[in-house]
Chains A and B, each alone.
Chain A
Amino acid sequence: MTAPLVEVRDLVVRFESGGMLRGPKRVVHAVNGVSFEVFAGETLGLVGESGSGKSTIGRTILKLEQPTAGSVRFAGTDVLALEGRELRALRRRMQIVFQDPYGSLNPRMRIGDSVAEGLEIHQLVPTREIPARVAALLGEVGLDPSYARRYPHEFSGGQRQRIGIARALAVDPGFIVCDEPVSSLDVSIQAQVLNLLADLQRARGLAYLFIAHDLAVVRQLAHRIAVLYFGRIVELADATTIVSAPRHPYTRALLSAVPVADPDRQHARIRAPGEPPKPTAPPPGCPYFSRCDHPEKSPRCTSELPLLRPINGSQAACHYA
């Protein structure tokens, strides 16, 4: 078996909120012990609702946030131990594409200069070759190379997301964290960007951590899917298995809540009543217990935290999966 490109072990992220005038200090339990691997050329989908910790995980992998505990390795190197020059060198190989293409581009910079930034910081090509490289990158993401001279406000949301992708590609990374890359785009444009990401993966052998709240979107690109709830992976399996044979009651609830564009295939039943617990007050035992509709759920669920365990080719964190 080949070694993983990215290896996340027992990641825990907690931070303090409140204090002073904003009420009593509380500890927010954002990520509560998450482990997974991403292999070269693979897309791992990370799906979860708000507060599940999915974006925090993505940012922590790139050391944009510091975890409370746990480790992240990229091609065997301990990412979290790196500083300064070494960290910059590693960032060349790991990039991120954000949800909001508006917020992640400098409005006063021509987009050609935005795309060129990484090339300049890492001195990847001689200065005189930069314009040609930028033109090639814009072409690769489906934009007219002449757009290099324009400013972000001259572009639509979908085009800005393409610019964000070109920026990430500029340094020729092996791994990209895609954090809700299509959730602010219209349906007709979403499909363009999803197809582009798939094509780039094939052409460049990229690995993605694809983070999204929409299971149907994740399904389009992911080879494997990890389902997050309350800062934990509750189920991890290949994409087809997650969708067709879910083991965890939360995965089943999530699947049944996805709107289906077919009037004859509606499932009306609400499988997850209520809302997730507050991240400042983790419940004892299984965090999904209060919403769980598993017929066998028992007092064991509130006393003993179910850990992720292998079940018929999947992994699920449920005593009764």
Chain B
Amino acid sequence: MTAPPLLEVRDLRVAFPGERGDGSAHPVDGVSFRIAAGETLALVGESGSGKSLTALALLRLIPPPGRIEPESRILLDGQDLMTLPEEGLRAVRGQRIGIVFQDPMSSLNPVYTAGAQVREAVTAHRTLSAKDAKERAIALLAEAGIPDPAVRYDSYPHELSGGLRQRVLIAIALAGGPDLLIADEPTTALDVTVQAQILELLDRLRESHDMAVLLITHDLGVVAGRADRVAVMYAGQIVEEAETRRLFRSPGHPYTRALFRAIPKLETAERLVPIPGNVPVPGRWPDGCRFHPRCPEVLARCPRDVPPVAEAGPDHRSRCWLVADRGAG
């Protein structure tokens, strides 16, 4: 990689106290990745994989009693957010990193109008006259694709559809002119036709604002057309990472391969191949390779030995013994 990354995460670990006070569990357990300026990285995983906690950790928003282990490194343009005081963090949140969550209803305040909430985000980081702030807020609502933005400015969240609420949240996230937009399941609560609109919008905004996007989703279909690179999470770790086309064409990790076989496809009703067993409970990870109890290609060593992160190809890494052994031989 030539240009220094916009964001570099090294060995991120998030700890929560154990159920019976017996030590702590790590729902995010050694996550490392980089995002270049203007790039879209997708973080894909099922429930409990740690993908949303990873997003919160980047902004140091892990709710207590959870905490980020102090050895974790979160570098934004080389500056370590782990050592930044609260004041500096506030400047990062919103101004350098914007975030959009899954459920727009619970992220918006029901007693303020959409416009007031965008205006608040506009004035959070700079001083503007009331008139200019309102104008800027309306412009942001328009950029987020809201029809009649000057009228919608005065709408309360409950008067808006799910799709429009998500657009308001996007306007808020854009207010500080962020370099990185974190979109955590931004379309999961929306209808498919509206989901398609929001995904297009995010793509367009990435280009016009020259932002990097961290797209967090459970849906590999959502990823296929949008992300430059994909990182697949399982049991608190990234188990595979590659350029998008490469990941879809030649997945190296048995979990990624199994996911593809389990996805329902429009063009065929051929019987799906499910992944056996259950998604592990966060923090209670199996020994050895964490996927071994469900893996169709499990080897004798997998239940005991933790697999290394191995090169599966150019800029393509898999956390799997099959890949590691192939590289050695």
A residues in contact (CB < 8 Å) with B: 49-50, 156-159, 186-192, 194-195, 198, 213-217, 219-221, 239, 243-244, 253-264, 266, 268, 270-275, 291
- Contact at B262–A190, with CB atoms within 8 Å? yes
Instruction: List 20 A-B pairs, Cβ < 8 Å.
Output: A159-B278, A186-B46, A189-B274, A190-B264, A191-B263, A192-B274, A213-B191, A215-B192, A216-B265, A253-B193, A256-B196, A260-B266, A263-B224, A266-B224, A266-B225, A270-B196, A271-B193, A272-B193, A273-B197, A275-B191
- Contact at A254–B273, with CB atoms within 8 Å? no
- Contact at B221–A258, with CB atoms within 8 Å? yes
CA A187 to CA B258, docked complex, whole Å: 10
CA A260 to CA B260, docked complex, whole Å: 11
- Contact at A259–B222, with CB atoms within 8 Å? yes
- Contact at B259–A268, with CB atoms within 8 Å? no
CA A260 to CA B273, docked complex, whole Å: 18
Contacting residues, chain B, for A268 (C-beta < 8 A): 200, 225
CA A83 to CA B314, docked complex, whole Å: 68
- Contact at A194–B264, with CB atoms within 8 Å? yes
Contacting residues, chain B, for A261 (C-beta < 8 A): 220-221, 223-224, 248, 260, 263, 265
Given A186-B47, A188-B275, A268-B200: A220 in contact with B269 (beta carbons within 8 A): yes
CA A75 to CA B194, docked complex, whole Å: 39
- Contact at B279–A189, with CB atoms within 8 Å? yes
- Contact at A215–B266, with CB atoms within 8 Å? yes
Given A156-B278, A261-B263: A213 in contact with B192 (beta carbons within 8 A): yes
- Contact at A186–B218, with CB atoms within 8 Å? yes
For the complex of A and B, 5 pairs with smallest distance between CB atoms: A259-B221, A191-B274, A188-B275, A266-B225, A49-B191
> Smallest CB-CB separation from B48: which chain A residue?
A186
- Contact at A243–B267, with CB atoms within 8 Å? yes
- Contact at A156–B264, with CB atoms within 8 Å? no
Whether B272 sits at the interface, judged by CB under 8 Å, is yes
> Smallest CB-CB separation from A159: which chain B residue?
B278
- Contact at A260–B221, with CB atoms within 8 Å? yes
Q: Which of A50, A187, A213, A253 neighbours the largest number of chain B CB atoms within 10 Å of its CB?
A: A187
| A188 touches which of B195, B259, B265, B267 (Cβ 8 Å) | B259
Q: Which of B192, B220, B248, B260 neighbours the largest number of chain A CB atoms within 10 Å of its CB?
A: B192
Contact residues of B between 1 and 60, Cβ < 8 Å to A: 46-47
Contact residues of B between 190 and 227, Cβ < 8 Å to A: 191-197, 200, 218-225
- Contact at A262–B266, with CB atoms within 8 Å? no
Contact residues of B between 231 and 276, Cβ < 8 Å to A: 244-245, 248, 258-267, 269, 271-276
CA A144 to CA B6, docked complex, whole Å: 50
Whether B109 sits at the interface, judged by CB under 8 Å, is no
- Contact at A262–B248, with CB atoms within 8 Å? yes
Contacting residues, chain A, for B248 (C-beta < 8 A): 261-263
Contacting residues, chain B, for A271 (C-beta < 8 A): 193
Contacting residues, chain B, for A219 (C-beta < 8 A): 264-266, 269
Whether B107 sits at the interface, judged by CB under 8 Å, is no
| A264 touches which of B163, B192, B219, B245 (Cβ 8 Å) | B245
- Contact at A275–B194, with CB atoms within 8 Å? yes
Contacting residues, chain A, for B194 (C-beta < 8 A): 49, 275
Contacting residues, chain A, for B218 (C-beta < 8 A): 186-187
Contacting residues, chain B, for A194 (C-beta < 8 A): 264, 272
Given A195-B274, A214-B264, A266-B224: A259 in contact with B279 (beta carbons within 8 A): no
Contacting residues, chain A, for B191 (C-beta < 8 A): 49-50, 213, 275
- Contact at A257–B196, with CB atoms within 8 Å? yes
Contact with A along B150-162 (1 / 0, CB 8 A): 0000000000011
Given A186-B218, A257-B196: A158 in contact with B278 (beta carbons within 8 A): yes
Contacting residues, chain A, for B269 (C-beta < 8 A): 219-221, 239
Other than A186-B218, A188-B275, A190-B262, give 16 A-B pairs with Cβ distance below 8 A.
Answer: A156-B278, A186-B46, A187-B218, A189-B279, A191-B274, A192-B275, A213-B192, A214-B264, A216-B264, A243-B266, A253-B193, A261-B220, A263-B224, A263-B248, A275-B163, A275-B191
CA A97 to CA B225, docked complex, whole Å: 34
| A217 touches which of B162, B220, B224, B264 (Cβ 8 Å) | B264
Given A213-B192, A270-B196: A258 in contact with B272 (beta carbons within 8 A): no
CB distance from A94 to the nearest CB of B (A): 25
| B271 touches which of A159, A195, A217 (Cβ 8 Å) | A195
- Contact at A188–B224, with CB atoms within 8 Å? no
CB distance from B59 to the nearest CB of A (A): 26
- Contact at B244–A263, with CB atoms within 8 Å? yes
> Smallest CB-CB separation from B248: which chain A residue?
A263
Contact with A along B275-300 (1 / 0, CB 8 A): 11011000000000000001000000
CB distance from B147 to the nearest CB of A (A): 8
- Contact at A255–B262, with CB atoms within 8 Å? no
Contacting residues, chain A, for B273 (C-beta < 8 A): 191
- Contact at B264–A257, with CB atoms within 8 Å? no
- Contact at A186–B265, with CB atoms within 8 Å? no
Contacting residues, chain A, for B162 (C-beta < 8 A): 50
